[in-house]
């Protein structure tokens, strides 16, 4: 008979494993810090989307407001790494996070911190345009939203699950950067401020459908028209 392992035990195991991996790889000493002297930024790259109206819309906005308050404190120096969960920790009710929609095994379910994946997707999409190094990003398991509900292209999403799936972005530029946000009414904008002005990359998402599976290949195109593949995402319908 298969033994039942409590979720808290699984989570603690995953957190410990990730901590040791970060320690041995040297990443743990490269995580970005806050409370640094403000710099003057000359460049900006922005992505934005609307929060879908519904019974969880206000909760989603509340969760996003809490998250961006913490993320906005950071300034990434060259070579430093942003980790979604290193910054936010576990999104619990005790921290003010509310119940929202989240995807688990291809299904929409209720979960505390629902909506944070939308924020992570905006950050990932902006990071692609800025030419930053994506160290960790996970696609959702399923494409369950109608095309009209996708604020960002399919393939630009980022699933984040505390202890299991993180979004990690490395500042591979030769100057500091900073994530900032605007949350107004039902719209969220993610801005990356850069110390130097750059020509953003154009991110393209090529969709292929085959027997209930959607595959999206992500390309980046630079100012010279040079194109390179940066990832592939698969979704069930």
Cβ–Cβ < 8 Å for 218, 232: yes
Predicted local distance difference test score (pLDDT) of residue 106 = 61
CA 49 to each of CA 60, 119, 121: distance values in angstroms, whole numbers, following the listed order: 13, 9, 10
Q: Which residue has the tokens 């993610």?
A: 190
Burial 193-206 (b: 16+ CB within 10 A, else e): bbbeebebbebebe
CB 154 within 8 A of CB 216: yes
Q: Which distant-in-sequence residues (6+ apart) come within 8 Å of 228 by Cβ?
A: 219, 220
Query: What is the predicted pLDDT for the residue at 3?
Result: 56
- Its pTM stands at 0.93
Local confidence pLDDT in tens for the 237 residues of the chain = 445 567 889 999 999 999 999 999 999 999 998 777 778 899 999 999 998 888 889 999 999 999 999 999 999 999 999 999 999 999 999 999 999 887 766 666 788 999 999 999 999 999 999 999 999 999 998 876 655 455 789 999 999 999 999 999 999 999 999 999 999 988 999 999 999 899 999 999 999 999 889 999 999 999 999 999 999 999 987
Q: Which residues of 71-104 are buried (b: 16+ CB within 10 A; e: fewer)?
A: beebbbbeebbbbbbbbbeebeeeeebbbbbbbe
> Which pLDDT value is given to residue 1?
42
């Amino acid at each position: 008979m298969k033994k039942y392992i409590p979720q808290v035990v699984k989570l603690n195991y995953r957190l410990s494993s990730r901590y040791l991996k970060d320690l041995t790889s040297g990443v743990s000493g490269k995580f970005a810090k806050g409370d640094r002297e403000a710099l003057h930024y000359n460049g900006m790259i922005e992505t934005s989307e609307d929060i879908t109206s519904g019974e969880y819309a206000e909760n989603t906005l509340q969760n996003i407001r809490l998250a961006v308050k913490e993320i906005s404190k950071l300034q990434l120096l060259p070579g430093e790494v942003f980790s979604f969960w290193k910054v936010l920790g576990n999104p619990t009710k005790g921290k003010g996070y509310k119940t929202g929609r989240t995807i688990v095994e291809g299904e929409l379910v209720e979960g505390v911190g629902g909506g944070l994946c939308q924020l992570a997707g905006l950050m990932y999409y902006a990071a692609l345009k800025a030419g930053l190094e994506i160290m960790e990003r996970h696609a959702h398991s399923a494409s369950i939203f109608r095309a009209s509900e996708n604020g960002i292209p399919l393939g630009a999403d980022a699933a984040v699950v505390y202890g299991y799936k993180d979004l990690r972005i490395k500042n591979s530029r030769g100057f500091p950067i900073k994530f900032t946000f605007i949350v107004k009414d039902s719209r969220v904008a993610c801005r990356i401020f850069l110390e130097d002005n750059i020509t953003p990359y154009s991110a393209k998402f090529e969709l292929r459908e085959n027997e209930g599976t959607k595959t999206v290949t992500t390309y980046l195109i630079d100012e010279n028209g040079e194109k390179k593949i940066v990832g592939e995402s698969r979704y069930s319908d």
